[in-house]
Amino acid sequence: MAATPPKIRILVVDDHTLFRRGLTALLQREPQFEVVGDAADAGEAQRRAQALQPDVILLDNHLPGVNGIDALPELIDAAAGARIIMLTVSEDENDLAAALRNGACGYLLKTIEGDALAAAIRRAVRGESVVSEEMTGKLVAAYRGAAAPQAAPVRAPIVPASKLDALSPREREILGGIALGQGNKEIARTLGIAETTVKIHVQHILRKLDVSSRVHAAVIAVEQGLG
**pLDDT over threshold 70, residue 142:** no
Cα(81)–Cα(32) distance, integer angstroms:
18
Residue 153: the pLDDT is 45
**pLDDT over threshold 80, residue 133:** no
Q: Work out the average pLDDT over 126-154.
A: 64
The verdict on residue 152 lying in a domain is: no
Indicate the pLDDT class of residue 144, thresholds 50, 70 and 90: low
Looking at the structure, do residues 23 and 64 belong to the same domain, yes or no? yes
- Cβ-contact 214, 134 below 8 angstroms: no
Indicate the pLDDT class of residue 100, thresholds 50, 70 and 90: confident
Cα(14)–Cα(41) distance, integer angstroms:
7
Domain stop point among 134, 150, 174:
134
Residue 130: the pLDDT is 86
Q: What percent of the chain has pLDDT over 90?
A: 48
Cβ-based neighbours of 52, under 8 Å, separated by 6 or more: 9, 11, 36, 37, 79
Q: Helices (DSSP H) in 53-194: which residue ranges?
A: 68-78, 93-101, 114-125, 136-144, 161-165, 169-179, 184-191
Looking at the structure, do residues 48 and 128 belong to the same domain, yes or no? yes
Q: Which domain holds residue 51?
A: 8-134
Q: 184: how many CB neighbours lie within 10 A of its CB?
A: 20
**pLDDT over threshold 80, residue 34:** yes
β-strands 8-13, 33-39 pairing: parallel
The verdict on residue 3 lying in a domain is: no
Looking at the structure, do residues 42 and 97 belong to the same domain, yes or no? yes
The verdict on residue 148 lying in a domain is: no
Domain stop point among 90, 118, 134:
134
Residue 159: the pLDDT is 56
> What does pTM read for this prediction?
0.69
Residue 2: the pLDDT is 57
- The 10s digit of each residue's pLDDT in 76-87 is 999 988 999 999
The verdict on residue 92 lying in a domain is: yes
Coil/strand/helix, residue 33: strand
Residue 48: the pLDDT is 97
- The 10s digit of each residue's pLDDT in 165-181 is 889 999 999 988 887 77
Looking at the structure, do residues 124 and 28 belong to the same domain, yes or no? yes
Looking at the structure, do residues 102 and 28 belong to the same domain, yes or no? yes
- Cβ-contact 61, 35 below 8 angstroms: no
- Helix 93-101 with 136-144: angle, nearest 10 deg: 70
